[in-house]
Amino acid sequence: MSKFLINGGTKLSGEYSVDCAKNAYLPIIASTILCKEEIILKDCPFFADIDNMILILRNLGMTAERKGTELYINGKNAYQSYIPTELAKVIRSSIFALGALLGRFEKAKVAYPGGCDIGLRPIDLHLKGLRDLGVKIIESHGYIYCDASKMHGGQVYLDYPSVGATENLIMAAVLCKGITTIINPAKEPEIVDLQNFLNKMGAKIDGAGTDIITITGVEELHGTEYRPIPDRIIAGTMLIAAAITGGSITVKNCIPQHISSLYTKLQKSGCEIDVKSDCIFLQSKDRLDSISFLDTMPYPGFPTDLQAQMLTLQTVCKGYCIIQENMFESRFKFVPELIKMGANVRVHQRTAYVSGVPSLLGADVFATDLRGGVALVLAGLCAKGYTTVHDIYHIDRGYSHIEDALTSLGASIKRVE
């Protein structure tokens, strides 16, 4: 099992250019199932989750090949609408393929994605929305069987603005006769990016990023080239990495507006922040002030995917902070590992109470999930002495060789296979 060895205490310094977003790439790859022509996706990052999504396409009979930095996809020969358990279990995002499969084949058999390392992650909203569009769904023996032969445009109200449900419904409706409206959809930038990509292929979608999305069904989609948006969570992780080490960083190729909920808080903690159109400069100081309170919210609120990194920063700030996790019930699983490093954190249900200590101490810790795992790397960067982060396959799901990026900023970190 690979692990990271980190010798903490170096202030990071330098520039970092952000990869394309995992959470934009995954639904965009899934949506290519709707098209029978060639699609070229630019700057495809080397994240394990993306490679697993590529396997899902190939299993349907599509071609999907990396050539240099580009991903070439062709759905001409797709012949089946089935995702088996062994593929669905390695990547929860396989559920995003359901809407696209129904649009293309009018039927699908998809293994239930089940729970995961950050919580139960139900899909009731996805299925309710599809039923509202006339899809017949039977759940049996771990599989979801869908018949969309009578699917029609219609109105779907989402009780909660779920990112995945919104994306699935958009994909299901693109080739569906009539007009579909999604009320109370998720407004995350990745939804807007999916709309822009599908519209570039000939879809008619309007309103992503607002309270109502309208999809007017079209006959077919055509091939295109597209570069998905930069990853706001990686951009935020790198800002926090510089902040926690007392260093400085220029995060380039990002969309600052997408992480304004983060950088305004870092500013409040005492970081100097300078925002330009596509980059953010951060200068930290030796000990930052605690932000007192943080709760995770749907976009444009503070993202749950940056909660673990921000909690870790609070462990070494001056003062006390209460962190409320509103999205996923198991997102504090990494906290016992931080406590091994000397952090003073108490968790009760979905709330963490963090009392800042002057410094963390290196220790052997285990990544429990993607964002919790990267948070332990941040802890290791600022801790006194050596930290070993085990089970880093979690981190590789959404960061491409993060050790290289951190090394280029002056950190002492190496991967040991």
Nearest by Cα to 184 from 206, 159, 149, 215? 159
The first and second tokens of residue 341, run together, are 């490093």
Strand, coil or helix: what is 278? coil
Residue 32 DSSP symbol: G
Of 45, 75, 164, 256, which one interacts with ligand UD1 (CB under 6 A)? Answer: 164
> To the nearest whole angstrom, how small is the minimum distance from the Cβ of residue 290 to ligand UD1?
24
Report if residue 328 touches ligand UD1, rule: CB under 6 A. yes
- Asked if 315 and 356 touch (Cβ cutoff 8 Å), the reply is yes
Report if residue 288 touches ligand UD1, rule: CB under 6 A. no
Of 10, 81, 93, 290, which one interacts with ligand UD1 (CB under 6 A)? Answer: 93
Strand, coil or helix: what is 96? helix
Q: Which is nearer to ligand UD1, 23 or 248 (CB)?
A: 23
Those residues whose C-beta lies under 8 Å from the C-beta of residue 263, and which sit 6 or more positions away, are 239, 256, 273, 275, 280, 282
> Phi and psi dihedrals of 324, rounded to 5?
-110, 120
Q: Which span sits near ligand UD1 by CB under 6 A: 75-83, 102-110, 121-129, 360-368?
A: 121-129
Cβ neighbours around 204 below 10 Å, total = 13
Report if residue 258 touches ligand UD1, rule: CB under 6 A. no
Cβ neighbours around 58 below 10 Å, total = 14
Q: Is 116 a catalytic residue?
A: yes
> Phi and psi dihedrals of 196, rounded to 5?
-60, -40
User: Which residue has its beta carbon closest to ligand UD1?
Assistant: 164
Q: Where are the beta strands (DSSP E) in 107-228?
A: 107-111, 136-140, 143-147, 155-157, 179-183, 204-206, 212-216, 224-226
Report if residue 305 touches ligand UD1, rule: CB under 6 A. yes
Rounded CA-CA distance 205/203 in Å is 6
Residues 184-203 contacting ligand UD1, CB under 6 A: 186, 190
Q: Which span sits near ligand UD1 by CB under 6 A: 157-165, 235-243, 287-295, 383-391?
A: 157-165
Cβ neighbours around 364 below 10 Å, total = 13
Q: Which is nearer to ligand UD1, 157 or 160 (CB)?
A: 160
Cβ neighbours around 44 below 10 Å, total = 24
Of 65, 86, 124, 272, which one interacts with ligand UD1 (CB under 6 A)? Answer: 124
> To the nearest whole angstrom, how small is the minimum distance from the Cβ of residue 123 to ligand UD1?
4
Of 53, 83, 229, 327, which one interacts with ligand UD1 (CB under 6 A)? Answer: 327
> To the nearest whole angstrom, how small is the minimum distance from the Cβ of residue 90 to ligand UD1?
13
> To the nearest whole angstrom, how small is the minimum distance from the Cβ of residue 369 to ligand UD1?
10
Report if residue 334 touches ligand UD1, rule: CB under 6 A. no
Report if residue 301 touches ligand UD1, rule: CB under 6 A. no
Of 162, 180, 195, 314, which one interacts with ligand UD1 (CB under 6 A)? Answer: 162
Q: Given the residues 35, 116, 176, 254, select the one marked as catalytic.
A: 116
Q: Which residues pair with 416 in a beta bridge?
A: 3
Of 12, 50, 123, 251, which one interacts with ligand UD1 (CB under 6 A)? Answer: 123
Distances in whole angstroms, Cα of residue 314 to Cα of each of 291, 321, 323: 8, 7, 10
Report if residue 165 touches ligand UD1, rule: CB under 6 A. yes
- Asked if 111 and 83 touch (Cβ cutoff 8 Å), the reply is yes
Query: Which residues make up the interface to ligand UD1 (CB under 6 A)?
Result: 23, 26, 93, 121-126, 160, 162-165, 186, 190, 303-305, 327-328
* Catalytic annotation, residues: 116
